[in-house]
Amino acid sequence: MPAIPSDPLAALTDAVRRRFGAQARVDNLTQATLGGSNRTLLFDLVEPAGTRRLVSREETFSDKANPFLPPDMQFRIMTTVHRSGIPVPEPVFAYDEQDALGPGFVTAFVSGETLPRRLLADTTNHSRILAQLADALVRLHALDLDDFAFLREIPESGDPVAALAMRLDSIAEPHPALELGLRWLETHRPDAVAPAMVHGDFRNGNFMIGPEGLAALLDWECSFIGDGAADLGWLCTRSWRFGAIDRHAGGFGTRDDLIAAYRAAGGRAITPEEIRWWEVHGLIRWGFYNGLQGLGHVNGRRSPAYAACGRNAALMEYDLLMTLSGTYD
């Protein structure tokens, strides 16, 4: 894990002044999270012309098995997506070798709610949110892939089953249930479709929701080029329903609701079977992520969050087996 600067304020101030001049300063610095893959700092950039709230995202997960895109790639993706008009936090600058806070980047602050259970508590907005999410996905999946050519080299942009098997093998830990799931994926593959730009972590918890609905799509460290149905399936994966089990699409609506909203926004006709295939893929993938972070805890990156993730790997295996058996919808 990259070292935490002994004086984060001084390090951030130096980075800011290199870009905005000696009169710029940092104020109101707070640490929002120290999560599984990023450290998030909120701060005010104070200049003679005014003040604006910004967000610093710094990579905290460094491991040979790390499946996450490096921050420079994330910044490039967000810059292109933001330019297209899809709601993402405005990219401001990326850290470089002269900064003591990298690897990472700074974006504009977006106000809103991200906590899933709070978002799901107000059922009056669910239809609007689902329609906005579907519209954002259709627009994302229609972007020119030439702008994301650098993603073609990552494993996830190839065979999705082989990439997931490689990731699971990388942690060198037995997970028979996940291996069974891989076999199911192999024998139930959907038909190939034209590739698209895929967010990769499109789920409840990575959306900023404001008074007008969707304000920003967050967390681009899992993006790849592949089947756009992957984003719909990940949203519908049981782990992201947060107790609203019968509302498959992140707790905001059913699979059929999501399919209809995606189609209404101009997307292709995706079948429930395709989404369910990607849900199974999602349970295996989430099981891998949890196992990876659990190993991080026992191998020196001591963290209650990593430890909890390691425990959750067994829950993903259970959910996977129940889904494959037809017990879970």
Is 315 found in the same domain as 192?
yes
Say whether both 201 and 223 belong to one domain: yes
Q: Is the pLDDT of residue 141 over 90?
A: yes
Within this chain, do residues 317 and 216 fall inside the same structural domain, yes or no?
yes
Say if residue 1's pLDDT is above 60. Answer: no
Q: Which pLDDT belongs to residue 3?
A: 55
CB 10 within 8 A of CB 25: no
Residue 269 lies in a domain: yes
- Provide the domain limits for residue 32: 8-108
Q: Is residue 1 in some structural domain? A: no
Regarding whether 122 and 89 lie in a shared domain, the answer is no
Q: What is the tens place of the pLDDT at every residue in 36-94?
A: 457 899 999 999 999 999 999 988 655 556 789 999 999 999 999 999 999 999 999 99
Domain end (from 62, 87, 108): 108
Q: How far apart (Å, rounded) are the C-alpha atoms in residues 312 and 290? A: 6
Query: Which of 51-60, 155-164, 188-197 is least confident?
Result: 51-60
Residues forming beta bridges with residue 105, ordered by sequence position: 57, 94
Residues 139 and 282 in one domain: yes
31, amino acid identity: Q
How far is residue 268's CA from residue 321's CA, in Å, rounded to a whole number? Answer: 30
* Residue 57 CB-density burial (10 A; 0-12 exposed, 13-18 middle, 19+ buried): buried
* Angle, helices 229-236/272-298, rounded to nearest 10 degrees: 70
Total-model pTM: 0.94
202 falls within a domain: yes
Residue 2 within a domain = no
Do 310 and 178 sit in the same domain of this protein? Answer: yes
pLDDT reported for residue 163:
97
What CATH number did the domain enclosing 34 receive? Answer: 3.30.200.20
Residues 37 and 125 in one domain: no
Q: Are residues 214 and 93 in the same domain?
A: no
* 40, β-bridge pairs: 33, 57
Lowest mean pLDDT among 4-13, 40-49, 148-157, 261-270: 4-13
CATH number at residue 166: 3.90.1200.10
Are both 271 and 123 inside the same structural domain? yes
Which pLDDT score, from 0 to 100, does residue 34 have?
Answer: 46
Q: Is residue 55 part of a domain?
A: yes
